[in-house]
């Protein structure tokens, strides 16, 4: 390609495909391209404006710009330079991102984001593992997904997602780290080391409120909240701050576990939330001879769904049963959820069960179904 204008045009078109890894929008739209130049020899110089000087993702952006430009005909060399936005440029960016004004965008009755608050009666039943796998399965299908790790005392989502870097702060706006296509924020990202968090109810409420107002999630198709086990303050805060959220109750097949989980699910009767359904985890162990071992008994998920249906007066489905699988635990330990890598020819029954639950939740229309419309007949 010899026409310099056509060549520069091709370069701009290629750069228009580069997405900011945190904001998930094209860097060109975000005002992050300061200057683009190409000399007679085909050497391109791109100046990128970072939101803040210490942006942890400068390497990723440089790589993405290079990858976009390499295939452009006539480009012989690529030079990516980094600069930092001025306070005015940052202000313009924040205004662009908060086009709808600041505040909790998910409480807006017009918000179309499906919000799932993942609850359990007791700890250790796999609530966080279920949350990250459902979120990743949806993101892998192309949906825009976020997770808020509201399990303040036992935050584990960053580890399960393999996130090690802190969120970027652009003044008071927090950009959540993105892993496997999912935006994630957790209280664990704001404490140093592995310190325990000993907060009281009002502080938890404030932390959650801050996550909802200050964290830039953008427009999401689905938002998952990993709640602490039990029926504590956070569950009540979630119902107040996110009235459209629906509970997903995770239990094991043990009837004693289902008893405890019923209390977590019945909180919906007091808060007016809907229950999206029950997920039974650790349902059985597949043995080498093809038989199943009911390690934790059987029937707890179905029992819980029936009891919640009776107490809430509406049909609460059992959305799926996830078997015990070593690979699921290993995926959590390595930060690569099993739905994204279920090994040999994709034969993991646990991954298949999780994908099928995610599929069911994705099929619920993203919209106003089931919500009060706030209108009265004339």
Binding site for ligand ATP (CB under 6 A): 120, 123-129, 151, 154, 156, 229, 281-282, 322, 324-325, 328-329, 332, 350
Supply the minimum distance, in Å, between the C-beta of residue 296 and ligand ATP.
10
The response to whether 124 counts as a known ligand-binding position is yes
Supply the minimum distance, in Å, between the C-beta of residue 205 and ligand ATP.
20
The response to whether 127 counts as a known ligand-binding position is yes
Euclidean distance between CA atoms 216 and 198, whole angstroms = 26
Supply the minimum distance, in Å, between the C-beta of residue 177 and ligand ATP.
19
Nearest one of 175, 117, 126, 174 to 149, comparing CA atoms = 117
Residue with tokens 């908060």: 98
The response to whether 121 counts as a known ligand-binding position is yes
The response to whether 277 counts as a known ligand-binding position is no
Supply the minimum distance, in Å, between the C-beta of residue 222 and ligand ATP.
19
Biggest CA pair distance of the chain: 75
CB 245 within 8 Å of CB 115: yes
Phi, psi of 24 (to 5 degrees): 60, 35
Supply the minimum distance, in Å, between the C-beta of residue 335 and ligand ATP.
12
Supply the minimum distance, in Å, between the C-beta of residue 350 and ligand ATP.
5
The response to whether 313 counts as a known ligand-binding position is no
Residues in the chain: 378
Q: Which CB atom, from 233 or from 325, has the smaller least distance to ligand ATP?
A: 325
Supply the minimum distance, in Å, between the C-beta of residue 101 and ligand ATP.
34
Q: Which CB atom, from 121 or from 176, has the smaller least distance to ligand ATP?
A: 121
Q: Which CB atom, from 120 or from 273, has the smaller least distance to ligand ATP?
A: 120
Euclidean distance between CA atoms 16 and 9, whole angstroms = 11
The response to whether 128 counts as a known ligand-binding position is yes
Q: Which CB atom, from 68 or from 279, has the smaller least distance to ligand ATP?
A: 279
Taking CA atoms, 49 is separated from 27, 37, 97, in Å, by 9, 15, 16
Q: Which CB atom, from 268 or from 282, has the smaller least distance to ligand ATP?
A: 282
Q: Which CB atom, from 231 or from 281, has the smaller least distance to ligand ATP?
A: 281
Supply the minimum distance, in Å, between the C-beta of residue 286 and ligand ATP.
11
Name the token pair of 212: 């909802």
Residues belonging to the binding site for ATP are: 121-128
Residues belonging to the binding site are: 121-128
């Amino acid at each position: 390609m010899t026409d310099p204008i056509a060549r520069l045009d091709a370069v701009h078109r290629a750069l228009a495909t580069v997405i900011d890894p945190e904001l998930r929008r094209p860097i060109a739209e975000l005002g992050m391209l300061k200057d683009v130049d190409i000399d007679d020899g085909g050497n391109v110089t791109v100046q990128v404006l970072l939101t803040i000087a210490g942006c942890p993702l400068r390497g990723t952006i440089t790589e993405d710009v290079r990858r976009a430009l390499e295939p452009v005909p006539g480009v012989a060399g690529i030079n990516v330079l980094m600069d930092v936005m001025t306070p005015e440029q940052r202000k313009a960016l924040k205004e662009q991102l908060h086009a709808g004004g600041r505040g909790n965008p998910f409480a807006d009755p017009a918000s179309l984001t499906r919000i799932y608050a993942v609850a359990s009666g007791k700890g250790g039943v796999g609530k966080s593992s279920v949350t990250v796998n459902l979120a990743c399965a949806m993101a892998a299908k192309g949906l825009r997904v976020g997770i808020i790790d509201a399990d303040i005392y036992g935050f584990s989502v960053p580890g399960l997602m393999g996130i090690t870097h802190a969120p970027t702060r652009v003044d008071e706006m927090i950009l959540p780290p993105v892993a496997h296509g999912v935006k994630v924020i957790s209280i664990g990202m704001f404490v140093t080391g592995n310190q325990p968090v000993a907060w009281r109810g009002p502080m938890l409420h404030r932390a959650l409120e801050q996550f909802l107002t200050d964290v830039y999630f953008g427009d999401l198709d689905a938002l998952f909240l990993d709640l602490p086990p039990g029926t504590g303050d956070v569950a009540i805060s979630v119902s107040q701050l996110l009235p459209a959220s629906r509970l997903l109750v995770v239990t094991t097949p043990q009837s004693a576990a289902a008893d405890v989980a019923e209390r977590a699910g019945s909180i919906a009767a007091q808060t007016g939330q809907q229950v999206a359904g029950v997920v039974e985890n650790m349902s059985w162990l597949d043995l080498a001879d093809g038989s199943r071992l009911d390690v934790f008994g059987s029937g707890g998920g179905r029992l819980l769904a029936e009891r919640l249906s009776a107490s809430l007066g509406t049909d609460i489905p059992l959305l799926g049963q996830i078997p015990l699988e070593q690979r699921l635990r290993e995926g959590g330990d390595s930060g690569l959820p099993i739905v994204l890598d279920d090994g040999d020819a994709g034969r993991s029954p646990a991954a298949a069960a999780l994908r099928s639950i995610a599929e069911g939740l994705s099929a619920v229309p993203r919209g106003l179904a089931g919500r009060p419309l706030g209108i009265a007949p004339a």
